[in-house]
Amino acid sequence: MLQPERTIRSTCPYCGVGCQVDLLIKDDHIFRVEAPFDVAPNYGRLCAKGRFGMDYVTHPSRLTRPLIRKDIGEKPRQPIDIDGFREASWEEALELAAEKIAEIIKQVGGNAIGSFCSAKATNEDNYIFQKFIRGVVGTNNVDHCARLCHAASVAGLQIAIGSSAMSNSIAEMKDLDVFIITGSNTSETHPVISTFMREAVVNGGAKLIVVDPRGIEMTEFASLWLRQTPGTDVAVFKAMAQVIVAEELYNPAFISERTEGFDEYAASIMEWTPEWAESISGVPADMIRQAARMYATANAASIYWGMGISQSVHGTDNTLSLANLALLTGHIGRPGTGLNPLRGQNNVQGCSDSGGLPNVFPGYQRVDDPEIRAKFEADWGVALNPEVGLTTMEMVDAADSGAIRGYYVMGENPMMSEPDLRHARHVIEQLDFILVQDIFLNETGEYADIILPATSFAEKDGTFTNSDRRVQQIRTALPAPGEARHDWVITSQLARRVEEKLGRSKSAGFEFEHPEEIWDEMARLTPPFQGIGYKRLDREGGVHWPCPAPDHPGTPYLFEESFPRGKGQFSSIDFRSSEELPDENYPYILSTGRVLYHWHGGTMTRRSQLDHIYPEATVEINPDDARQLGVQEHTRVRVRSRRGQIEVKVLVTERSPQGTIFIPFHFAEAAANELTNDARDPQAKIPDFKFCAVAVDPV
Ligand SMILES: Nc1nc2c(c(=O)[nH]1)N[C@H]1C(S)=C(S)[C@@H](COP(=O)(O)OP(=O)(O)OC[C@H]3O[C@@H](n4cnc5c(=O)[nH]c(N)nc54)[C@H](O)[C@@H]3O)O[C@H]1N2
Ligand SMILES: Nc1nc2c(c(=O)[nH]1)N[C@H]1C(S)=C(S)[C@@H](COP(=O)(O)OP(=O)(O)OC[C@H]3O[C@@H](n4cnc5c(=O)[nH]c(N)nc54)[C@H](O)[C@@H]3O)O[C@H]1N2
Ligand code: SF4
Ligand SMILES: [Mo]
């Protein structure tokens, strides 16, 4: 058996569970991944991606030198492969990038730059990135994939309780009593969390209620499965609330002490009966009653959700309807109770925490609050822009209108992950300058003027913050490939050059030797992080923020005493139907999402051995629909929407409800986002990836 030359403790770079891993290294390869049995959050467990999906880091197509587009300056820009670029020195590439960015700032101002930071990169990488954008470029146009992800959960939870973080820790899950999973395919997208949930059911006798149109694996463990028509969640959850009020199953003490707006809310829902909800959602009224009673009468009950709730034109309303249930019953603020949006990317929590958002500095401190801004201005020694920046989708609109001239994209792949790719392509073709910083040449890099090669999680030190707000470390296990540099180093070097070109006499401060110094600067400016430092993380393995002081234990569950907004707010919401309903020409609903072995647009997983398991674009079709269409398992079909078309292979399966088809958005050659609609939730601005109308034709 191979013996490792060294074993390095780190954090899995895929999903928000944040599993702790031991990387076994020989000849500068990760030849095996193990999980320590005694460490949170995974206690020895890993899924297929953690175990077998790390080999992407040594894939031969890793970027090793800076690249410059050969036809730089030509418009409209075309996507090109690696041969369309030439290799350049760091000196040349950074100098040119700085020049281009400074030129746009001088000509039209910093607000003409749009930037995307990365939920794959570390807290420290993202802190430096937003410091550059705010402190040097002079704009708050910085956002990341959270906008396409839990934006509606954030918007809804902010209204209801004033905080959007998951209320419970992963450690509480094995002791659950009653819990609801809705719009989360947990066993494929948060696999290790799903094992604790299954344990709660199988060993602990917990009762699980699944609310999902798709026949996901967790339904096999459910006491109740409410299979609603896609897009009808508000009706189902509103009717559950109606039952709780009508049958007086609510918690009067909690309502009077901890909430406001109950009377008005209770009056507003009385006519929305389970029978009404059945007529809209197809879920039997009696099942809605049973679910309401099961949830309301539990000693402790919590709600877990994912993209089925958030990625909708009424995602904020969906979230509010879940929050109403928790506020009615007082199932929040105690162990095993709470509201839990399961965070997706390994560091999506941390990317937001570190200030990768257009309206807030690190720690959700508002950019338009003069006192907060003064604190950052004093520390960084530069004047800061008070105007809230643009979100991801607004930056696309601004690029379309010409208000944004340049993009800086670190560790994201919008040309696979944004809705309506035809439109996204049209927009990106027109930009004056695109700078991409990634570990691979992805579909977005193909449009770049300059690509800067970054190191991966296995080649650097830093921290990720997982779904339950636990700050954990990654550690250098391998040498950087070729000349690749750390993201925080690249952005710092770029920042200093841009400052020079702008003739700034004083730097905002990018002289760091190690990510620990960056963490310390961020913690100094961010009260909830002040008790967390690298030495403590080394000792304890991870700490849950908020952690305001070194002797504070950290906070595994939230809202014990009060909510950040004071009292919990009930919201009366109306059911609204989806944006683009099926019709004669486009008779099916298209839902998109993930499968276990895929990661988003495939940049990482298609360069891993995982690719052999599920290598081809597919569409799941219900057996009745397949019969009607005259297609069988493995028939190739063309799926068309009003925006585009792709070809995929049929999987006939009961997982898809009749009338709805499902396509994973993993394959560039059959990209689901050619079809999707960029209609958005009015508050959260999140697009609807779970509902648009399509036609299916056999080829
Ligand atoms: N293997 C793998 N794991 C991942 C990722 C990955 O790419 N691959 N990505 C990570 C990221 S960033 C994220 S955000 C998470 C996402 O994790 P999930 O949210 O679990 O992922 P999706 O596949 O988008 O699944 C959404 C679920 O919503 C359901 N759904 C569809 N329409 C509706 C509806 O109208 N109402 C309700 N209630 N449900 C509906 C679908 O049937 C599906 O079960 O996964 C993370 N984990
Ligand atoms: N149709 C459809 N579209 C969707 C969704 C859906 O459900 N359906 N879900 C949406 C959601 S929830 C999300 S989160 C987005 C995800 O969308 P993206 O964030 O755009 O997708 P990823 O493929 O995860 O992109 C990560 C990139 O980071 C790079 N990378 C990895 N590690 C590092 C690093 O250390 N440094 C740097 N610089 N780069 C690195 C990878 O090579 C890759 O190019 O997709 C959204 N799009
Ligand atoms: S559950 Fe998530 S963090 Fe854990 S091994 Fe799988 S992908 Fe990695
Ligand atoms: Mo996500």
At 235-271, the pLDDT tens digits run 999 999 999 999 999 999 999 999 999 999 999 999 9
CB-based burial label for 229 (10 Å; 0-12, 13-18, 19+) = buried
The residues, any chain, with a CB within 8 Å of residue 511's CB and separated by 6 or more, are: 492
Residue with the smallest CA separation from ligand 1 atom 10 is: 344
Q: Determine the average pLDDT of the residues in 118-133.
A: 98
Top mutation candidate among 192, 474, 604 for ligand 3, by most atoms within 8 Å of CB: 192
Q: How far is CA 164 from CA 121, 263, 548, 563, 688, in A?
A: 21, 25, 19, 11, 20
Tell which atom from ligand 1 comes closest to the C-alpha of 211: 38
Query: CB within 8 A of 593, min separation 6: which ones?
Result: 185, 307, 662, 664, 665, 689, 690
Q: What is the mean pLDDT of the chain?
A: 96
What's the confidence (pLDDT) of residue 557?
A: 75
User: CA separation (Å) from 333 to 91, 260, 560, 642?
Assistant: 53, 16, 4, 46
Annotation: CATH topology of 6-58: N-terminal domain of TfIIb (2.20.25)
Ligand 1: residue of 197, 212, 311, 417 to mutate (most ligand atoms within 8 A of CB) is 212
Ligand 3 centroid to 637 CA: how many Å? 33
**Largest Cα span, the chain:** 71
Instruction: Give the pLDDT score at 215.
Output: 98
13-43 per-position pLDDT tens digit: 999 999 999 999 999 999 999 999 999 999 9
Question: pLDDT tens digits for 536-552?
Answer: 999 999 999 999 999 99
Beta strands (DSSP E) in 561-659 are 568-569, 588-593, 618-621, 636-640, 645-652
CA 126, distance to chain mean position in Å, is: 15
pLDDT for res 167: 84
Percent of the chain with pLDDT strictly greater than 70: 100
Residue 560 has pLDDT above 90, yes or no: no
Average pLDDT over residues 459-484: 97
What average pLDDT does the segment 568-584 reach? 95
Nearest to 72 by CA among 547, 435, 372: 435
The CATH number of domain 151-342 is 3.40.228.10: yes
- List, for residues 638-668, the tens digit of each pLDDT value: 999 999 999 999 999 999 999 999 999 999 9
pLDDT of residue 174: 82
Pair of tokens at residue 620: 């799941």
Q: How far is CA 393 from CA 456, 679, 689, in A?
A: 27, 10, 13
Asked if pLDDT for residue 556 goes beyond 90, the answer is no
Q: What is the pLDDT of residue 136?
A: 98
Write down the CATH number for the domain with range 67-144+349-544.
3.40.50.740
- For residue 17, which atom of ligand 3 is closest to its CA? 3
Q: What residue ranges do the domains of the chain occupy?
A: 6-58, 67-144+349-544, 151-342, 588-698
Q: Extract the tokens encoding 407.
A: 């993009």
pLDDT category of residue 579 using cuts at 50, 70 and 90? confident
Q: Do the beta carbons of residue 367 and residue 388 sit within 8 Å?
A: yes
Per-residue pLDDT, averaged over 598-611, amounts to 98
What is the torsion angle, in degrees rounded to the nearest 10, for the CA atoms of residue 448, residue 454, residue 458 and residue 462?
Answer: -120
Task: Tell me what pLDDT residue 171 has.
Answer: 87
Q: Give pLDDT, residue 164.
A: 85
- What pTM, to 2 d.p., does this model score? 0.97
Please count the CA atoms within 13 angstroms of the CA of 1 that sit on its side-chain side. Answer: 4
Per-residue model confidence as pLDDT tens digits over 667-683: 999 999 999 999 999 99
> Residue 538 Cα, ligand 3 centroid: separation in angstroms?
21
Question: In this structure, which amino acid lies at residue 419?
Answer: P
User: What SS3 state is found at 414?
Assistant: helix
The answer to whether residue 1 scores a pLDDT higher than 90 is no
Q: Answer whether 122's CB lies under 8 Å from 354's CB.
A: no
Q: Indicate the Cα dihedral angle 72, 77, 83, 88, nearest 10°.
A: 30
pLDDT given for residue 566 in this prediction: 94
pLDDT score for 410 = 98
Contact 543 CB / ligand 3 (< 6 Å)? no
Name the CATH topology of 588-698: Barwin-like endoglucanases (2.40.40)
User: What would the mean pLDDT of 541-568 be, rounded to a whole number?
Assistant: 91
C-alpha 454/C-alpha 489 separation (Å) is 9
Q: Is 503 exposed, middle or buried (0-12, 13-18, 19+ CB in 10 A)?
A: exposed
Is the confidence at residue 64, as pLDDT, over 80? yes
